[in-house]
Amino acid sequence: MTRSYDDLFRQSIDDPTAFWAAAAEGIDWVKRWDTVLDASKPPFYRWFRGGELNTCYNAVDRHADGGRGDQPAIIYDSPVTDTIETITYRDLKDRVARFAGVLRSLGVGVGDRVIIYLPMIPQAPIAMLACARLGAIHSVVFGGFAPNELATRINDAKPKVIVSASCGIEVNRVIAYKPMLDQAIELATHKPERCVIFQRPQVTAELVAGRDVDWADAAAGAAPVECVPVAATDPLYILYTSGTTGQPKGVVRDNGGHAVAMRWTMKHIYNVDPGEVYWAASDVGWVVGHSYIVYAPLIHGCTTVVFEGKPVGTPDAGVFWRVISQHKVGTLFTAPTAFRAIKREDPEGALIGTYDLSGFRALFLAGERSDPDTLRWAETRLNVPVIDHWWQTETAWAICGNPLGVQKFPVKHGSATKPMPGWNVRVVNPENEEVKRGDIGALVVRLPMPPGALPTLWNADERFINAYMSEYPGYYQTGDAGFMDDDDYVYVMTRTDDIINVAGHRLSTGAMEEVLSAHKDVAECAVVGVADDLKGQVPLGFLVLKAGVARDDADIVREVVQMVREQIGPVAAFKQAVVVKRLPKTRSGKILRGTMQKIADSKEYKMPATIDDPAILPEIAEALRSLGYARDSAGAGA
């Protein structure tokens, strides 16, 4: 008998041990756990203590050897190189085992870190799975980050080996990765012993003798290796995400809890069965890519699509529908920004009708708030459930969603629906008291969090406590604010920190401010996220110049734009800044970023009671109008 959401949710909160022990039956264990939940050192909770398993075995070998050998595990679809390649579970096992052999021959073993800096090619999941096979810890860095960001991650993770490629392809631009990798290693204080480079036909990278190894050569001569059992509590990967400073946070994922959660979500949240084709149109550099391009679909025995392209321009706004119909995709997961891009190019959705989408069952959106317009457009054009669900790098899977495999709740536009089993979501005020239904507060999760959620930050237990656990004792602080309605639907409205979401990519405005303030002519600066029709938000900089600087403002703006591109990367999409005489501040000197953002977005704002000099705000509005913002600035409301 299928159990109701209420029944599952209640058990997950009242008796998490029984709930997750049952879910753990979906995983093959080398040794079963001694304790389902070790809660002896809160807020450090550990799932399946004493258990041993191998995540790669669960994602690959058990399917390759268990009746799915001929089933496609990965379909690589690359409109930018005009390539389609199908990799069966049997092929995948062979390629992963041999690449694990390459890594082992370079000295990689249990607990060693391997950084993976690759575009969306099959070598990315193969390298991740090869690390998992060896019990090594991978850390994938998104290709759109600049060498400086890569260097920061190298210094923190201290990898023995880095795996990269000669290039990535952005629509029709070839981006050489190897010079960026070389520059990052040059900048980093920690030096990896070896690099493995996958040479793509578009660019041949120069290899550094004695350090760099050619992927194809090394794999050809490598001995395949078997899966190494690791502790359930051992780290599977580190994924860096933006924190409130330029220093990213290394989110740690364990092996056991993660595997259990990934498997459980595929049926219960996405209603997908083994053997079906599941497509997360994201990038392996993000958590969505880790969880739903690689681990969850493979652990569940599905076929996953590795797509190297964009929703538009590769070649047109019909590419998503082409991929869905050609590969018989049942479920698509992407960010709302992808749909805004498609809607902009094909407002009527005319291209949808030119493909057979009869096997397409559901669309899931996450990464940023789904605006009701985009949701409605997708619903009416696709005629399938369109599900907004809310999650974070830290959580690995949805905190709130509409669990199609359990029961489908009516969709309320603007809400990510209800807390998923395991996630005891509360809305609290600064005193850590629950607010009334409908009132906005901080979104927090009662501890312990379910399996899959981060156990800590890499080498930074103290920062883990300070960033997530100290402000609301007994709860995990999500960093998001929102409200819950009378039907337990959760509405995620905004971040409470300096994180902004640009095209579904999480970025820190604080990190951008660090770059701007390093410009020789800049005395003070602020960066805020302003509304953007396509990307949801884009960063906008305010610069106050040092006294006596007589240079052209436009030159300085150009330079700071270039600095952010070089130091953080093109993914930051930092393209605009404005020079102002001064910044609005409180009397205690805190910059009023929220007010500047509201002015830019032409939203009504309250004159902050603590503002030092109210006369600055019209100056800010004037400067913003020069960039096309604050057009019908509502001014200070009551």
Residues making contact with ligand AMP (CB under 6 A): 241, 287, 366-369, 388-393, 416, 478-480, 492, 495, 501, 506
- Could you please report the per-residue DSSP string of 413-476? TT---EEPTT--EEEE-TTS-BPPTT--EEEEEESSPPTTS-S-BTT-HHHHIIIIISSSTTEE
Instruction: Look at residue 393 and give the partner it binds from ligand AMP, ligand COA, none, a contact being a CB closer than 5 to 8 Å depending on partner kind.
Output: ligand AMP
Q: How far apart are CB 121 and ligand COA at their closest, in Å? A: 11
282 binds, among ligand COA, ligand AMP, none (CB under 5 to 8 A by kind): ligand COA
In angstroms, what is the minimal distance from the CB of 538 to ligand AMP?
15
For residue 283, the partner it binds in ligand AMP, ligand COA, none, with Cβ less than 5 to 8 A by kind, is ligand COA
Look at the chain and count its residues.
638
Residue ranges in 350-499 assigned as alpha helix (H): 372-382, 461-464
Q: How far is CA 426 from the centre of its chain?
A: 23
- Which of the listed partners (ligand COA, ligand AMP, none) does 395 bind, with a CB threshold of 5 to 8 Å by partner kind? none
Cβ 450 vs Cβ 421: under 8 Å: yes
**Both tokens assigned to 553:** 């403002």
State which residue, 147 or 441, has the beta carbon closest to ligand COA.
147
Q: Are strands 499-502 and 505-508 parallel, antiparallel or unpaired?
A: antiparallel
What single letter denotes the amino acid at residue 522? V
Q: Closer to ligand COA at the Cβ: 545 or 571?
A: 571
Nearer Cβ to ligand AMP (123/265): 265
- Rounded to 5°, the CA angle 280-539-376 comes to 45
| Closer residue to ligand AMP in complex, CB, 4/466 | 466
Per DSSP (E only), the strands in 232-324 are: 235-241, 249-254, 277-280, 303-307
Minimum CB–partner distance for residue 142 and ligand AMP (Å): 10
Q: Pick what 175 binds: ligand AMP, ligand COA, none; C-beta below 5 to 8 Å, kind-dependent.
A: ligand COA
Question: CB of residue 169 vs ligand AMP: minimum separation in angstroms?
Answer: 23
**Residue nearer to ligand AMP on the CB measure, 48 or 475:** 475
Q: What, of ligand COA, ligand AMP, none, does residue 390 touch, CB below 5 to 8 Å by kind?
A: ligand AMP
Instruction: Give strand pairing partners of 83.
Output: 78
Amino acid letter, residue 280? A
Closest CA relative to residue 196, chosen from 111, 298, 91, 126? 126
The amino acid occupying position 112 is: D
CB of 200 to ligand COA, least distance (A): 13
CB of 46 to ligand COA, least distance (A): 28
Q: Which does 287 bind (CB under 5 to 8 A by kind): ligand AMP, ligand COA, none?
A: ligand AMP
Binding site for ligand COA (CB under 6 A): 119, 143-144, 168, 170, 175, 282-283, 286, 288, 310-312, 334-335, 337-338, 341, 367, 503-505, 534, 570-571, 573
φ, ψ for residue 545, nearest 5 deg: -85, 155
Residue 335's binding partner out of ligand AMP, ligand COA, none, with CB under 5 to 8 Å set by partner kind: ligand COA
Of the candidates 571, 548, 547, 545, the residue with the CA atom closest to the CA atom of residue 559: 545
Residue 537 and residue 549 in contact, taking contact as beta carbons nearer than 8 Å: no
241 binds, among ligand COA, ligand AMP, none (CB under 5 to 8 A by kind): ligand AMP
Residue in the shown chain whose Cβ atom is closest to ligand COA: 143
Nearer to ligand COA, 499 or 630 (CB): 499
Q: Which does 92 bind (CB under 5 to 8 A by kind): ligand COA, ligand AMP, none?
A: none
Give min distance, CB of 288 to ligand AMP, in A.
Answer: 7
Residue 392 interacts with which of ligand AMP, ligand COA, none, CB < 5 to 8 Å by class: ligand AMP
Task: Report what 97 binds from ligand AMP, ligand COA, none; CB cut-off 5-8 Å by kind.
Answer: none
Residue 517 CB-density burial (10 A; 0-12 exposed, 13-18 middle, 19+ buried) = middle
Nearer to ligand AMP, 368 or 514 (CB): 368
| Residue 277 CB, nearest approach to ligand COA (Å) | 18
How near is the Cβ of 238 to ligand COA at its closest, in Å?
Answer: 18
Side-chain-side CA neighbours of residue 17 (13 Å): 9
Select 184 or 492, whichever has its Cβ closest to ligand AMP: 492
Alpha carbon distance 526, 596 (integer Å):
9
Shortest gap between Cβ of 323 and ligand COA (angstroms)? 13
Backbone angles phi, psi at 364, to 5 degrees: -115, 135
Q: How far is the CB of 279 from ligand COA (least distance, A)?
A: 12
Q: Could you tell which of ligand AMP, ligand COA, none binds residue 320, using a CB distance below 5 to 8 A set by kind?
A: none
List, as one string, the DSSP characters of 593-629.
HHHHHHHHTT--EE--TTBS-TTHHHHHHHHHHTTT-
- Residue with Cβ nearer ligand COA (73 or 571): 571
Report DSSP state, residue 276: S
CA nearest neighbour of 369 among 208, 231, 510, 501:
501
DSSP state of 555: H
User: To the nearest whole angstrom, how small is the minimum distance from the Cβ of residue 475 to ligand AMP?
Assistant: 15
Residue 607's CB is within 10 A of a number of other CB atoms, namely 13
- Looking at the Cβ atoms of 80 and 288, the one nearer to ligand COA is 288
**275, 297 Cβ separation under 8 angstroms:** no
Placement of tokens 């990965």 in the chain: 74
Using CA atoms, how far apart are residues 171 and 79, in angstroms rounded to an integer? 9
> Peptide bond preceding 410: is omega within 30 degrees of 0, i.e. cis?
no
168 touches which of ligand COA, ligand AMP, none (CB within 5 to 8 A by kind)? Answer: ligand COA
Which of residues 92 and 396 has its CB atom nearest to ligand AMP in the complex? 396
List, in sequence order, every residue forming a beta bridge with 581; answer none if it has no partner: none
Shorter beta-carbon distance to ligand AMP: residue 372 or 614 = 372
By beta-carbon proximity to ligand COA, the closer residue of 342 and 556 is 342
DSSP states along 169-235: EETTEEEE-HHHHHHHHHH-SS--SEEEEEPBTTB-PPPPTTTEEEHHHHHHTPPP-PPPPEETTSE
Measured distance CA(538)–CA(502) in Å, rounded: 6
**Bridging pattern class, strands 490-495 and 499-502:** unpaired
- CB of 283 or CB of 371, closer to ligand COA: 283
Q: How far is the CB of 309 from ligand AMP (least distance, A)?
A: 21
Cβ at position 585, least distance to ligand COA in Å: 32
